[in-house]
Amino acid sequence: MTARVLSINVGTPVAVDWANPVGATSIMKRAVTGPVRVHELGVDGDDVADKKYHGGVYQAVYAFAREDLDLWSERLGRPIDNGQFAENLTTSGIDINESLIGERWRIGSTLFEVVEVRIPCNVFKRWMGLSGFDAKAWVKRFAAEGRPGPYLRVLEPGYITAGDPITVVYRPDHDVTVSMMFKAFSTDRSLLPRLLEAGDALPPKPRAAAQKAADKLGATS
């Protein structure tokens, strides 16, 4: 199966009383037709509400696999639409969770780099509940699955269209995957020092956390 983008989804901040502490969220996404411009901070028509913890060049675009949406649909007993998990790109035909940190994708005329992972929050939990899904212990359940989808950095701005193929143009020489990074920050923090193996592809905040863990390990060994 050819890897491709099934849907491009965008949203802007909406004031809601359940999106604490900011009081607004962009988690509600709608599909758009292309071509859509992508710049270093994301997709045209998309924005983040909580800029303290979200957005920026290392969280410019969020991708989630249709295959994983289907998995959750089976478990939750209801269909899940593209964009429900607030992803900008709903993908198909590629295991994005086994992508390597620093891996690069060409989509349309845009070059992306896999750099970070989405950590679930209570706004995500509330959104799932308000959408009619079983949100009990949602953050814990999502974390246990270990398939968060990656944040993408935009190395070369350009245009993308739903249906565009995803071409992996570079895979670095290490084994730090999206799933590994997610587990290091959620369910298995002993993995944190290993993130340093991703080298220069590791963004500043994850690098600082990984280095701190490595220094602590060295001090106690």
Domain ranges of the chain: 4-175
Which architecture does CATH list for 4-175? Answer: Beta Barrel (2.40)
Residue-by-residue DSSP string for 106-120: EETTEEEEEEEEPPP
The pLDDT assigned to 49 comes to 84
The pLDDT assigned to 148 comes to 97
Give the pairing of strands 30-32 and 150-156: unpaired
The pLDDT assigned to 220 comes to 61
The pLDDT assigned to 34 comes to 80
pTM for this one?
0.95
DSSP three-state, residue 31: strand
pLDDT in tens, 9-51: 999 999 999 988 889 999 999 999 889 999 999 999 999 887 7
- Residue ranges of the chain with per-residue pLDDT less than 50: 221
The pLDDT assigned to 221 comes to 47
Calculate the alpha carbon distances from 16 to 54, 57, 139, 154, 189 in Å: 17, 26, 20, 30, 33
Half-sphere exposure of 124 (CA within 13 A, CB side): 18
